[in-house]
């Protein structure tokens, strides 16, 4: 008897395989970016933490200025500045424990420095004497990542591996607003949620992907809303409010550490400088927009809060500036020395053991260098 023949016995029912899954409501971000500074929540913030954040922001801004200056002097090949985004950079570093891992992009050298990495090592990639200037395992900072969003699945895999090994480790991965359009963003968030990996994704929505504004990047209600589709919480935060970013990230890290799985945090911020020194931002944005954001400056916000509450005075500000100047002077001094280069390094780390093909090419370069040296010597002798 076919289904058609037993029509009377047929009861319309939902698809048998369908099961209710996660309730989306608790995953949804707030309607407005979460703020602390200038709100009632500020009263609960730890004064020690606020002072620490302030010192780091001041140092971070000076670091950006120094790196930009070094680029103009030809000491760096390129510098993507995080001026205006210091609150995100600093908070991302401060919420992590020693054993945790940070996964930065090219724009996030400040986060690495705030975590304690030597600025010279952080800037190696951008100076161009090697790709990664530090041992990632020693500092638990992944190599600065340039192919957009490709660092995100690494963070998920590392967090997953740590979890499998029974280690209490959280990974925090940074990505830009433009990077959220990449396939790897999607795949990383999906894997993280399915595996309930202890990972936190921080999107620094700084308004632009080089020249392209967010409106051309996505039609989502917010980037934080994207979390819901993966079954993880999304949080929206004022990215220039260091106390708010620190609080939201701390909660997300604690949640991950406690076995609660991943969180997507969107920090709404603004890229005050051009994309890099090589970019001309006059072609795609007006001064008034930049000025509006300067009035919502991460250092200004925190300074206002601290001075209002009597937690910071002129001496405190001067002390912060002096520490920043010390860092800048040291960075300048060391970056003005030419790095030591050994061309033979080109072959040193391609494989554990070089192939015979590479050994041949290595010998070729060695011979070229020897010939160059003999040439210089004979020129010197002739003079």
Ligand X SMILES: Cc1ncc(C[n+]2csc(CCOP(=O)(O)OP(=O)(O)O)c2C)c(N)n1
**Residues noted as catalytic:** 271, 275, 284
Residue 8 beta carbon to other proteins: minimum distance, rounded to whole angstroms? 39
Query: Which of 124, 180 has the CB closer to Mg ion?
Result: 180
Percent helix, strand and coil across the chain, each to the nearest 5: 50, 10, 40
Say which entry of ligand X, other proteins, Mg ion, none residue 355 contacts (CB below 5 to 8 A, set by partner kind).
other proteins
How far apart, in Å, are the Cα atoms of 262 and each of 59, 251, 279? 30, 11, 35
Say which entry of other proteins, ligand X, Mg ion, none residue 161 contacts (CB below 5 to 8 A, set by partner kind).
other proteins
Give the residue from 125, 126, 112 showing the smallest Cα distance to 74. 126
Residue nearest to Mg ion (CB): 176
Report how far residue 315's alpha carbon sits from residue 312's, in angstroms, rounded to the nearest whole number. Answer: 8
Q: Does 206 bind Mg ion (CB under 5 A)?
A: yes
Report how far residue 252's alpha carbon sits from residue 247's, in angstroms, rounded to the nearest whole number. Answer: 9
Binder among 60, 153, 178, 233 for ligand X (CB under 6 A): 178
Query: Which of 184, 325 has the CB closer to other proteins?
Result: 184
Q: Does 198 bind Mg ion (CB under 5 A)?
A: no
Query: Which of 161, 210 has the CB closer to other proteins?
Result: 161
Residue 52 beta carbon to Mg ion: minimum distance, rounded to whole angstroms? 27
Q: Does 142 bind other proteins (CB under 8 A)?
A: yes
Cβ–Cβ < 8 Å for 222, 266: yes
Contacts of 251 (CB under 8 A, 6+ apart): 235
Say which entry of ligand X, Mg ion, other proteins, none residue 210 contacts (CB below 5 to 8 A, set by partner kind).
ligand X
Report how far residue 240's alpha carbon sits from residue 34's, in angstroms, rounded to the nearest whole number. Answer: 11
At residue 228, φ and ψ (nearest 5 deg) are -60, -40
- Terminal-to-terminal C-alpha distance of the chain: 106
Query: Which of 53, 209 has the CB closer to Mg ion?
Result: 209
Q: Does 196 bind other proteins (CB under 8 A)?
A: no
Binder among 344, 348, 369, 371 for other proteins (CB under 8 A): 348
Binding site for ligand X (CB under 6 A): 107, 146-148, 176-179, 206, 208-210, 271, 275
């Amino acid at each position: 008897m076919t289904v058609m023949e037993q029509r009377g016995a047929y009861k319309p029912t939902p698809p048998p395989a369908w099961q209710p899954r996660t309730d989306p409501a608790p995953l949804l971000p707030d309607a407005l970016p979460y703020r602390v500074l200038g709100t009632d929540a500020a009263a609960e913030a730890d004064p020690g933490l606020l002072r620490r954040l302030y010192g780091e922001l001041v140092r971070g801004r000076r670091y950006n200025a120094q790196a930009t200056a070094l680029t103009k002097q030809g000491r760096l090949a390129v510098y993507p500045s995080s001026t205006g985004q210091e609150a995100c950079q600093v908070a991302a570093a401060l919420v992590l424990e020693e054993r945790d891992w940070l996964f930065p992009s090219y724009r996030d050298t400040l986060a690495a420095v705030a975590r304690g990495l030597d600025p010279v090592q952080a800037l190696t990639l951008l100076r161009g004497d090697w790709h990664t200037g530090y041992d990632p395992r020693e500092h638990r900072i992944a190599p600065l990542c340039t192919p957009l969003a490709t660092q995100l699945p690494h963070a998920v895999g590392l967090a997953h591996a740590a979890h499998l090994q029974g280690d209490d480790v959280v990974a925090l991965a940074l990505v830009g607003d433009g990077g959220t359009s990449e396939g790897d963003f999607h795949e990383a968030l999906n894997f993280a949620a399915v595996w309930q990996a202890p990972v936190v994704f921080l999107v620094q929505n700084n308004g632009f992907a080089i020249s392209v504004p967010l409106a051309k990047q996505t039609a989502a209600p917010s980037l934080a809303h994207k979390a819901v589709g993966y079954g993880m919480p999304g949080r929206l935060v004022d990215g220039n409010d260091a106390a708010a970013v620190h609080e939201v990230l701390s909660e997300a890290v604690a949640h991950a550490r406690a076995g609660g799985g991943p969180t997507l945090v969107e920090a709404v911020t603004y890229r005050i400088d051009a994309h890099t020194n090589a970019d001309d931002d006059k072609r795609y944005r007006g001064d008034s927009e930049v000025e509006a954001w300067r009035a919502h400056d991460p250092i200004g916000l925190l300074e206002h809060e601290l001075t209002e509450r009597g937690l910071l005075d002129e001496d405190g500000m001067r002390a912060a500036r002096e520490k920043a100047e010390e860092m800048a002077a040291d960075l300048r001094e060391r970056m003005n020395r030419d790095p030591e280069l050994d061309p033979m390094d080109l072959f040193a780390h391609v494989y554990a053991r070089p192939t015979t093909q590479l050994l041949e090419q290595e010998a070729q370069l060695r011979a070229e260098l020897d010939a160059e040296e003999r040439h210089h010597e004979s020129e010197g002798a002739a003079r």
